[in-house]
């Protein structure tokens, strides 16, 4: 487990309504195309991250994920921790392991997985976290799904969790596998990491202020070639 040190480099946005006040911890499952960029953005704006992934960096990961040549052969979680430390010294706690039903639960959970089985495990863990939520805190599960030029994001709270589980959690066998040469680009991966972070800051703003002033969509989709966006609240 590796943990980097905090620094104070947020003077340009420290008065934003979502600026972390309570040392919020975000649990991120997956440190690949989505997770590497997501961790970068979350920590850069001041949130603390616990990141889980059991994989190592390979050459083909460099095109779409936030890794460098020197990271090849390293665990993804340690590589991303080092990168974030180099950029801003923000804190990230790493776990070089799979998410399982025994993984500690957290009410702020992010799915950055590329398979439905892991996504479901993290979601079920997140549901178990509801009972431990502090007063005034609404749990949120943000699920990112990524293709080479298309992204989808689900922002799930206890209010719409049943709908998400019923309509959007299915078996991996129901998902058509994209060719290896049509899976991922860095610009789309960075985009989904940025948007997931932005939707989370909207959620945190509403939490801090005690009222719904910012929109947090249940579903958001963007298709790059057609510049097409759709969302559902």
- pLDDT cut 90: percent of the chain above it: 72
Out of 13-22, 55-64, 70-79, 205-214, least confident range: 13-22
Give the mean pLDDT of 188-197.
96
CATH number at residue 146: 3.40.50.720
Copy the structure tokens of residue 70: 């020197």
**Looking at the domain assignment, is residue 9 inside a domain?**
no
With cut-offs at 50, 70 and 90, classify the pLDDT of residue 2.
very low
Copy the structure tokens of residue 102: 């025994």
CA dihedral 146, 27, 158, 206 (to 10 degrees): -90
Q: What is the pLDDT of residues 111-131, one digit of tens each?
A: 999 999 999 999 999 999 998
Copy the structure tokens of residue 129: 């976290």
Mean pLDDT, the chain, whole residue set: 90
**Looking at the domain assignment, is residue 36 inside a domain?**
yes
With cut-offs at 50, 70 and 90, classify the pLDDT of residue 175.
low
Say what the pLDDT of residue 204 is. 95
Say what the pLDDT of residue 196 is. 98
Phi, psi of 222 (to 5 degrees): -135, 130
Give the mean pLDDT of 74-84.
95
**Looking at the domain assignment, is residue 191 inside a domain?**
yes
Q: How far apart are CA 46 and CA 18, in angstroms?
A: 10
Comparing 132 with 76, which gets the higher pLDDT?
A: 76
Give the mean pLDDT of 28-54.
95
**Counting beta carbons within 10 angstroms of the beta carbon of residue 12, is it exposed (0 to 12), middle (13 to 18) or buried (19 or more)?**
exposed
> What is the residue-wise DSSP string for the chain?
--BPPP----TTTTTSTTS-SS--EEEEE--STTHHHHHHHHHHTT-EEEEE---B--GGGTTTSS--GGGTTSBHHHHHHHHHHHHH---EEEE-S---TTSPP-SEEEE--SSHHHHHHHHHHHHHHGGGPPTT---EEEEEEEETTEEEEEEE-TTTHHHHHHHH---GGGSPPPPGGGS--HHHHHHHHHHHHHHHHHHHHHHHHTS--S---SEEEEETTTTEEEEE-
Contact 70, 25 (CB under 8 A): no
pLDDT at 70 over 50: yes
**Looking at the domain assignment, is residue 112 inside a domain?**
yes
pLDDT at 156 over 90: yes
**Looking at the domain assignment, is residue 10 inside a domain?**
no
Copy the structure tokens of residue 177: 């596998």
**Looking at the domain assignment, is residue 7 inside a domain?**
no
Say what the pLDDT of residue 55 is. 96
- pLDDT cut 70: percent of the chain above it: 91
**Looking at the domain assignment, is residue 1 inside a domain?**
no
Say what the pLDDT of residue 5 is. 42
Terminal CA-CA length for the chain:
38
pLDDT at 181 over 70: no
Residues of the domain holding 200: 25-232
**Looking at the domain assignment, is residue 31 inside a domain?**
yes
Number of domains in the chain: 1
């Amino acid at each position: 487990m590796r943990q980097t040190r905090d620094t104070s480099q947020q003077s340009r946005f420290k008065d934003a309504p979502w600026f972390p006040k309570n040392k919020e911890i975000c649990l991120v499952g997956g440190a690949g195309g989505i997770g590497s960029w997501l961790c970068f953005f979350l920590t850069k704006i001041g949130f603390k991250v616990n990141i889980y992934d059991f994989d190592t960096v390979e050459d083909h990961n460099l095109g779409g994920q936030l890794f460098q040549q020197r990271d090849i052969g390293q665990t993804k979680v340690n590589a991303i921790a080092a990168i974030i430390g180099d950029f801003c010294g923000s804190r990230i706690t790493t776990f070089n392991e799979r998410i399982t039903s025994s993984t500690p639960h957290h009410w702020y959970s992010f799915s950055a997985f590329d398979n439905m089985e892991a996504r479901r495990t993290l979601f079920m863990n997140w549901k178990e976290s509801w009972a431990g939520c502090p007063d005034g805190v609404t749990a949120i599960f943000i699920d990112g799904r990524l293709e080479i030029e298309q992204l989808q994001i689900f922002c799930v709270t206890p209010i719409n969790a049943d709908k998400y589980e019923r309509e959007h959690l299915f078996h991996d066998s129901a998902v058509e596998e994209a060719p290896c040469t049509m899976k991922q680009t860095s610009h789309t991966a960075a985009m989904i990491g940025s948007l997931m972070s932005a939707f989370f800051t909207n959620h945190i703003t509403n939490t801090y202020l005690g009222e719904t002033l910012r929109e947090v969509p249940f579903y958001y989709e963007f298709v790059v070639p057609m510049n097409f966006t759709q969302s559902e609240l």
